[in-house]
Structure 1
Amino acid sequence: MTEGPSFSVLYVGSDDRLVPGLAEHIKSESLDVAAERTAADALDRLSAEPFDCVVCDAELPDGDARSVRQTTRERAPRLPFVVLVGDDETTVLADLRDDSGAEYVLVDADPEPYATVAKRVREAVERGHSRGRSDQDELASALVGAATEATWVVDESRTVTFANAATERLFGCAPSTVVGDDALRAVEPVDSDSVRDMFETVLANPARTVTSEIRVRPENGDRRWVECRCRNQLQDPAIDGVVVTLTDVTDRKRKERQRRRFRRAVEQAGHAIYITDTDGTIEYVNPAFEESTGYPRTEAVGENPNILNSGEHKPEFYAGLWNTILSGDVWKGEVINERRDGQRYVVEQTIAPIEDETGTIDRFVAINTDVTQRKAYERRLQRYENIIENLPVGVYRTTPEAGGEFVEVNSSLVSIYDAYSKSELLDRSVDTFYADADDRAEFRAQLQEHGRITEFEVEHRTLSGERIDVTLTAILTEEDGATYIDGILQDVTDRRQRERELERKNEQLEQFASIVTHDLRNPLNAAQSRLELERQASDSEHLAVVEDQLVRMEELVEDVLAIARHGKQVEDREPVDIAPLVESCWQTVETGDAELVVDTDRTISVDTSRIQQLFENLFRNAIEHGGRDVTIRVGTLSDGFYVEDDGPGIPAEEREDVFEHGYTTDDDGTGFGLNIVEEIVTAHGWEIRVTDGTDGGARFEITGVERREQA
């Protein structure tokens, strides 16, 4: 280590590498560096001990460099003061640039910050010593020559009279080519006026140091940003000019531009973004955060992200999150948060660590995407999918070509086709399930023509070879530029079998009715004719009995014909007002002293002839069992109508039997009247039940009846 002059330096800050850095670059056995971390401790130290120079961090735990400089300037105006400024601490520069007794080093932009700090310290101390000492002149010369910053001396005409070796590193030319030239030689034209103003200002104010950032164009053509510091030293005969120090700040400017672009991007981002320190304290939030959470920036900054905690997640969830990001990894997950107003919302969150220049994590950035609506849509979609999957009919999506391929199917379709799994259907073409290829062609033709098709009846063949009757309802749809057939397939095999069985029974009924009409009526008519002839020849009391039996036989024939006719399903209906229809039916029945009360104005859609038979049979039944002075009422139900009387009623244990064939409690009855009523009700698709009447008689309620306006 070389012998040198005594240096007494006070360092105020937290960079543990600075003190050994000064010792390494100054290389003086007489160097004495004291260190304090806070402004308060530093000021106490300055009051107790003399120092040749103060080196201070821009930001301190209890203040910043400006407060320390203000105090030292009051106590020791000539004490040199050097400030260490980071990229994010440049706000202090505005107050220090015009302070001729203070200098600063941009530590983040300087490739060798400790060497630069050492240089500035030596320069500052040397300026405090006599310039007549030769050893100090040699030191100053050495420092200027070894400086990493380009240093020029410019006379009053702006001509460069000295340029150090660092000039070549910055401008790509030898220092000798600069000497004798105009100081504006490398300045970009856009900044020329600014440099002229600086020069005029420093000439007019010898006590001031003027600083500005300008653009220069080196010999290699790559534009650079430099910090230009001008200090008037015309009164110093050893210098006799303005000392211009040019520091390359291109990288810092680039980083500043990147930070500005990043900040603009973050400010305008649609995602909620916030930044915290390593303890989780929020340092920044963007406008999207304010909008999505309801917390304004003034309330959020300084708080912990747990202000958004909804209580939905266990402590282990957050512990795992912190373990991930503190280890340097990125955490991604779904979080249920709570807004300022208490409303909960779902976010997809990504948290990434931010490292400083040494690779140490010093912050975290969190990006939240609000997926509340998407999650709600996904839940609705899942419900719809569950419904479709569990429908008792086959649901499918196929391609529209002649063969067709299954794209999606539900479980019911798998079951209908006797497949083992969905994949088995997805591997087969649609046309293989058609029993007749022409049916597939007809289905496609109608679908192409109309865009949709409803209950297209066709015969299909299952994978087990069984033939089944199905109906197809489908629609052509387009999705992502592709066309599909979406539809429903219903297995109607059992229904078709029942319909065919019903048709067969109807044919048998028709045949039976024909037999009754022809083979029974003819003998009955002949017997009635013979009875009339016999009455003309005899007045035997037995003839009355024969006449009664013949009448009874005729009623049986009529009832049997009614059963055969009314057992068929109603196909043709017309709107009918119940009230006038009931009045008309009442006129066709022997009512004696019975009374009819009509309490309805409803219109229903019916087969008129059959509904007349229904009311007539119910009226006869009421009169036969309630007496010839019974009161019968017809009224309205919410989904139908009723017929009731005030007669003796029907015991509860017999109500299920009254609609059976042949059931009667009247010796003269056929037992078919109420059975015919039930047949008519069933043929219309309605239901009938027996209950107690309002006044204790029997009440027949017919429900499931469509109103005319709903038909």
Structure 2
Amino acid sequence: MPTRTTEDDHSTDDPDSSPERRSVRVLLVEDAVDVAEVTAEYLERAAEELSVAVAGDALTGLDRLEEERFDCVVSDHEMPGMDGLEFLGVVRERRPELPFVLLTGKGSEDLASKAISAGVTDYVQKRSGADHYELLAQRLRSAVAKRRAEREVSALDRINRTIRQTTQQVLEADSRAEIERTVCETLADDDPYRFAWIGTVEDDRVEPSTWAGDDADDFADGTIPTGGGSTERGPTARAARTGEAQAVQSLGDATDVEARRESADDRSYAASASVPLEFEGTGYGLLNVYTDRPNAFDDRELDVLTELGETVAHGIHRAALTERLERQYETLFEESPMMAVTTRMTPDGPVVETCNRRFLQRLGFDRSTVVGQPLERFYSADSAQKLLDEGGYERALDDDFTREQRTLLTADGESVETLLRAVPREAETGDSAGTFALYVDISERKRLERENERLDKFVSVVSHDLRNPLMVIEGHAELVRKQHGNEDAEAILEATDRMEELLEDLLTLARQGEAVRETDSLLLGKLARNCWGNVGTGGASLEVTDELFVEADASRLQQLLENLIANAVEHGSTSPGSQAHQDAVEHGSTSPDSQARQDAVDHGADSSDDAVAGDGLTIRVGALEEGFYVADDGAGIPADERDLIFETGYSTDDESTGFGLSIVAEIAEAHAWAVEATESEDGGTRFEFHGVETTRVED
């Protein structure tokens, strides 16, 4: 806890510089002048902290009590005009807490009883001698000390009560401005403080930001220098410089600046304190309080104020954090790519409180036409009925995390399929205030699902309805060929083989486009060697330059490698002089075990009777930084055709289906990989796959 420092307008050897030796001002009311002088002299001699002022009668005493500050009254009883008891009665009406000692010339039980009933503090019979005055001085000091202790306890109780009230209000405030205003108003609203203000520390000055209390409208809101000059000796400047709580016990000579001096003097403030507002090493300004209690701000009071300063700083920190989080939430809400809506409860049911930009853009409404409307107004008839039948609102308000599919309607009546996620929103009381709902637009997903359904039907037709009659044709043609050796039958069989190849490629293309859901860690080099044995590679050779593991679907990665190997063997070995234009032709293998090999053999036999497919060709498989490549040193692909080779059906070879490399692209996309065709270092073709999860095999 920061050190507390107090400062008086007296030197340190003054009796007023400690609670035990503070000055006690005594008003002595005595009509006998000589007795008054002797009594005053002896009292001041008996106790040096006593300062005695004399009044010759009760009326004069009352006037002086109105004009000056006294800590106690000593009064003779037998005086002309108004006696001591009558004087006591008036004093008790005006100053009920002021210690009052009654002096009498002779003892009287009746007088003592009346004095006690009237509220006298002590009753002393006049006697001569130094012992009598020492006794009287002791009685006065005890009475004043008791009263001061009572006042301090009472003040501390009021301080604690005020601090508790202020703390509670700080916790309930929502912003820094509200916290500062609440603190100042609460502290200055009642005893023990009359004025309070909060200022922010700016370089070498303090700038008041909020204030409240006596004549707050006239408060001079000038800045307070903190550099340590002669006019910067007050608690505010010292607290700003030291970062510790500071207090001054008399504002008569030590205010912050001359501009503050007049304000303090006019309001009869007796003392002031300044407390840093700091939380977790961050300063939020200074809290300053003024009181009319002389010699206020002892260690206990400064401790309480210091704790209040920490609470206020914590509250300001919390409010700033809350404001920042609210801004972030509002930004996320407004900029969310999902449609977002909040609802609030009304007597007629929940209505839209606000919605984000995406909701308005997707549905084509203006904000003014959405806010305040029932949310089901923007649902399709079926979704609105489901909302009512299934109690969607009620379940969301009961803290049930709602997961539903809802169909929204645009301003033009178009249906938007969405996935709804809704949770309750709580009010400050803890009760449900409404709901927070997110709508994920799944219209595209639904469209793809419908396309997939149609594709499944297509695959079924291709697999069964087309293949069955094809098998019948092939069977009859085979019988004709065997019985008659007819060249027409040979042509029919070649055509059926071609149709079978086409059907296989179509089925492969349809199946490989589905997204990969499960993968295995596969050794790329080993899989490439296995694929090499499944494809007719002729005179080509395989080199695995890097060993690495690839996260992939095993069957699809095998299909990808076989298609690339078959394509390289068929087209990479083509002579640049004879088929320069056909270098980009791709080939689609049809099955892992037989079709790719058969395709390569079939097409390889067409090139030349003497040539061997892939003769002299080298195919390399290696690692990239985030992927792998398959390259050859063949004829390569013209640069202007590299963007076309992955298109379905593209080919410059009448004998090719045009599906091989499109299947490669589909498999890559299903894995969320990027594929690119480039020129290899040897002038051939290099297929690069990026975005692949790989792990290199250490040597």
TM-score higher than 0.5 = yes
Unaligned runs of 5+ in 1: 1-58, 68-88, 98-103, 111-115, 129-139, 154-159, 216-224, 229-248, 307-318, 329-336, 358-364, 538-542
SS of structure 2 residue aligned to 1:642: strand
1:617 partnered with 2:563: yes
Which of 488, 510, 515 in structure 2 is aligned with 1:567?
510
1:604 partnered with 2:531: no
Report the Cα offset of residue 658 of structure 1: 1.3
Which of 70, 75, 82 in structure 2 is aligned with 1:151?
75
SS of structure 1 residue aligned to 2:439: strand
Superposed CA deviations along residues 172-196 of structure 1, whole A, max 9, x for unmatched, are 89x999965148646879x99x979
* Partner residue in 2 for 1:211: 137
1:130-141 to structure 2, matched below 5 A, reads none
SS of structure 2 residue aligned to 1:563: helix
* Partner residue in 2 for 1:578: 522
Q: Which segment is superposed worse, 491-500 or 508-517? A: 508-517
2: CA distance between counterparts of 1:563 and 1:695? 33
SS of structure 1 residue aligned to 2:137: strand
Shift in CA distance, 459/179, structure 1 to aligned 2, threshold 3 Å? same
Report the Cα offset of residue 620 of structure 1: 0.3
C-alpha contact 1:274 1:285 (8 A) present in aligned 2: no
C-alpha contact 1:692 1:699 (8 A) present in aligned 2: yes
Report the Cα offset of residue 591 of structure 1: 1.4
* Partner residue in 2 for 1:389: 334
* Partner residue in 2 for 1:451: 400
2: CA distance between counterparts of 1:552 and 1:327? 114
The one-letter code sitting in structure 1 at the alignment partner of 2:504 is L
1:167 partnered with 2:85: yes
1:630 partnered with 2:617: yes
Report the Cα offset of residue 387 of structure 1: 1.4
* Partner residue in 2 for 1:644: 631
2: CA distance between counterparts of 1:528 and 1:325? 119
Superposed CA deviations along residues 482-539 of structure 1, whole A, max 9, x for unmatched, are 245433112333443354345445545654565652455544554455445555x8xx
The one-letter code sitting in structure 1 at the alignment partner of 2:357 is S
* Partner residue in 2 for 1:331: none
Shift in CA distance, 450/553, structure 1 to aligned 2, threshold 3 Å? farther
C-alpha contact 1:578 1:603 (8 A) present in aligned 2: yes
Unaligned runs of 5+ in 2: 1-6, 42-53, 63-72, 92-101, 168-182, 185-195, 199-205, 207-218, 225-231, 268-275, 295-304, 574-613
SS of structure 1 residue aligned to 2:86: helix
* Partner residue in 1 for 2:439: 489
Identity %: 23
Which of 378, 384, 406 in structure 1 is aligned with 2:352?
406
Report the Cα offset of residue 610 of structure 1: 4.3
The one-letter code sitting in structure 1 at the alignment partner of 2:568 is A
1:273-672 to structure 2, matched below 5 A, reads 280=224, 281=232, 283-284=234-235, 295-297=243-245, 345-347=283-285, 369-370=312-313, 371-398=316-343, 404-421=350-367, 424-430=370-376, 433-436=379-382, 437-440=384-387, 441-442=389-390, 444=392, 451-454=400-403, 456-462=404-410, 464-476=412-424, 480-483=429-432, 484-501=434-451, 503-504=453-454, 507-508=457-458, 510-511=460-461, 516-520=466-470, 522-524=472-474, 526-527=476-477, 529-533=479-483, 535=485, 551=494, 554-555=497-498, 557-568=500-511, 569-570=513-514, 574-579=518-523, 580-598=526-544, 599-602=546-549, 604-606=551-553, 609-627=555-573, 628=614, 629-637=616-624, 640-664=627-651, 668-672=655-659
Shift in CA distance, 141/344, structure 1 to aligned 2, threshold 3 Å? closer
SS of structure 2 residue aligned to 1:658: coil
Report the Cα offset of residue 385 of structure 1: 1.5
Shift in CA distance, 258/487, structure 1 to aligned 2, threshold 3 Å? same
C-alpha contact 1:563 1:679 (8 A) present in aligned 2: no
1: CA distance between counterparts of 2:40 and 2:406? 107
* Partner residue in 2 for 1:314: none
2: CA distance between counterparts of 1:549 and 1:495? 43
The one-letter code sitting in structure 2 at the alignment partner of 1:211 is A
1: CA distance between counterparts of 2:643 and 2:135? 115
Report the Cα offset of residue 618 of structure 1: 0.9
Q: Once superposed, what is the RMSD of the aligned Cα atoms?
A: 6.1
Shift in CA distance, 432/345, structure 1 to aligned 2, threshold 3 Å? same
Shift in CA distance, 652/605, structure 1 to aligned 2, threshold 3 Å? same
Superposed CA deviations along residues 288-329 of structure 1, whole A, max 9, x for unmatched, are x97x996235799999989xxxxxxxxxxxx9x99999999x
Shift in CA distance, 164/671, structure 1 to aligned 2, threshold 3 Å? closer
The one-letter code sitting in structure 2 at the alignment partner of 1:595 is S
2: CA distance between counterparts of 1:93 and 1:532? 133
C-alpha contact 1:602 1:636 (8 A) present in aligned 2: no
The one-letter code sitting in structure 2 at the alignment partner of 1:647 is G
1:687 partnered with 2:670: no
Shift in CA distance, 633/227, structure 1 to aligned 2, threshold 3 Å? closer
C-alpha contact 1:147 1:166 (8 A) present in aligned 2: no
Report the Cα offset of residue 562 of structure 1: 1.8
Which has the higher relative contact order, 1 or 2, with Cα contacts under 8 A spaced 6 or more apart?
Answer: 2
Report the Cα offset of residue 168 of structure 1: 1.7
Superposed CA deviations along residues 77-128 of structure 1, whole A, max 9, x for unmatched, are xxxxxxxxxxxx697995987xxxxxx556xxx9xxxxx7999899549999
* Partner residue in 1 for 2:108: 181
SS of structure 2 residue aligned to 1:205: helix
C-alpha contact 1:469 1:492 (8 A) present in aligned 2: yes
Report the Cα offset of residue 389 of structure 1: 0.9
1: CA distance between counterparts of 2:532 and 2:370? 65
Report the Cα offset of residue 604 of structure 1: 3.4
1: CA distance between counterparts of 2:103 and 2:517? 116
* Partner residue in 2 for 1:698: 685
Superposed CA deviations along residues 602-636 of structure 1, whole A, max 9, x for unmatched, are 35353x55443322211101112333243333345
Larger radius of gyration: 1
Report the Cα offset of residue 655 of structure 1: 1.0
